[in-house]
Amino acid sequence: MGTFKALRIDRTESGQTVAPVAFDEADLMPGDTLVRVTHSTVNYKDGLAITGRSPVVRRFPMIPGVDFAGIVEETSHPGLKAGDAVVLNGWGTGETHLGAYAERSRVKGEWLVPLPPTFTAADAMAIGTAGYTAMLAVMALEKAGVTPEHGAAIVTGAAGGVGSVAVALLSRLGWRVMASTGRPEEEGFLRDLGAAEIVARDELSKPGRPLGKERWAAGVDAVGSHTLANVIAQTRSNGAVAACGLAQGADLPATVMPFILRGVSLLGIDSVMASRERRIAAWDRLARDLDKDKLKALTTTIGFDAIVPTAHTILDGKVRGRVVVEIGG
């Protein structure tokens, strides 16, 4: 047992504090597997946790960080052994279970997924929970029977973590991708990822008609609120929309008209508690369907000390694509 570097959130009478600490391995939470964390990432949820803008953290003190990649150091789980390269997404890490912004993490072995051999740990966190969620959304659209032959796909929040990976995935799978963003300066970036058309955020973010002109057959929405309502209202007959975020809001000011007049399906995407089988399937698909050159183009790498300022920046909507955090060697 020893100490290691970690970022810790503590609750105070005036709110919460966030600071790097030397954390004692003996104070890690129960689990059958100890992982040496090498890489993590900064997701929108991490930004909410670190800034305290939303009650993501439900236990204090807390080490934030909802996903990591690393190497198994010790385990009693029958499906793992020391030296295995693994990935973790969700399962309450960074919320109720001590999270990823630390050089060590003790977790349940069933939460871990083998790192696909085509990816490095840095690649895995360039994908992260955001990219894994995007893949789950694409898989849900496929299960709903929507294909590129039915029309275009709209991706909202396209310059963000989920959106940028969704654009890259859908375009490679043959979709004509319409990318919605409030950052017109990112048009070149989005077209390089595979977007065929840019849709201004204002077209979707304001109150709209309950049933609009049919513009796309599928959607991946990480925004919620009026944006999701307008995406649904403009989806073609028998199309589907995968909802996985709430950057604009958690409300859904919509009507039932698209559902009962056009047969549109709204697909909820839960990445936190998805089964291990679905996780492995998603990571296998990412290894096969995600262009690694495009992944590199949408990724920025930071050090441990930049986690907190990046958490603020991501909530301000100023982060492009994905952010990898180098935690330890």
Among candidates 297, 55, 314, 63, which has minimal Cα distance to 194?
A: 297
Residue 226 clears pLDDT 70, i.e. is over it: yes
Q: What is the mean pLDDT of residues 159-164?
A: 91
- Residue 211 reports pLDDT greater than 70: yes
Where are the strands (E) in 216-321, listed by range?
Answer: 216-221, 235-243, 265-268, 299-303
Same domain, 198 and 319: no
What integer pLDDT is reported at residue 55 of this predicted model? 86
Q: For residue range 227-283, what is the model confidence (pLDDT) as tens digits?
A: 999 999 999 999 999 999 999 999 999 999 999 999 999 999 998 888 989 999 999
Return the structure tokens found at 230. Answer: 């307008």
Q: Which domain holds residue 55?
A: 3-115+298-326
pTM above 0.85, yes or no: yes
User: What proportion of the chain, given as a percentage, has pLDDT over 90?
Assistant: 89
CA atoms within 13 A on the CB side of 31: 26
DSSP letter string, 100-140: SSBSEEEE-GGG-EEPPTT--HHHHHHHHHHHHHHHHHHHH
Residue whose tokens read 């052994």: 81
Place 114 in a pLDDT band, splitting at 50, 70 and 90.
Answer: very high
Q: Give the CATH number, domain containing residue 187.
A: 3.40.50.720
Judge if 211 and 249 occupy the same domain.
Answer: yes
103 has pLDDT over 80: yes
Q: What is the dihedral of CA 17, 21, 105, 120, to 10 degrees?
A: 100
- Evaluate whether residue 276 is within a structural domain: no
Q: What is the CATH number of the domain that holds 51?
A: 3.90.180.10
Residue/partner pairs of 22-28 with CB below 8 Å, 24 or more apart: 23/63, 23/102, 23/104, 25/1, 25/104, 26/1, 28/98, 28/104, 28/105, 28/106
- The answer as to whether 120 is a domain residue is no
pLDDT, tens digit (0-9, with 9 covering 90-100), for 52-75 = 988 899 999 999 999 999 999 999
Q: Do 248 and 310 fall within a single domain? A: no
DSSP state of 325: E
Q: How far apart are CA 203 and CA 14, in angstroms?
A: 40
Domain match, 133 and 252 both: yes
CB atoms within 10 A of CB 278: 15
Residue 304 and residue 224 in one domain = no
Mean pLDDT of 14-34: 94
pLDDT at 320: 86
pLDDT at position 102 over 80: yes
- DSSP class of residue 312 equals H
Number of domains, the chain: 2
329 pLDDT above the threshold of 80: no
Whole-number pLDDT of residue 1: 58
Query: Within this chain, do residues 135 and 109 fall inside the same structural domain, yes or no?
Result: no
Q: Supply the mean pLDDT for the chain.
A: 95
pLDDT, mean of residues 73-97? 95
Residue 165 belongs to some domain of the structure:
yes
Q: Which amino acid is at 82?
A: A
| 205, 309: one domain | no
Instruction: Specify whether the CB–CB gap between 152 and 216 falls below 8 A.
Output: yes
Last residue of a domain, one of 268, 290, 317: 268
Residue 48 domain-assigned (yes or no): yes
Position 284 in a domain: no
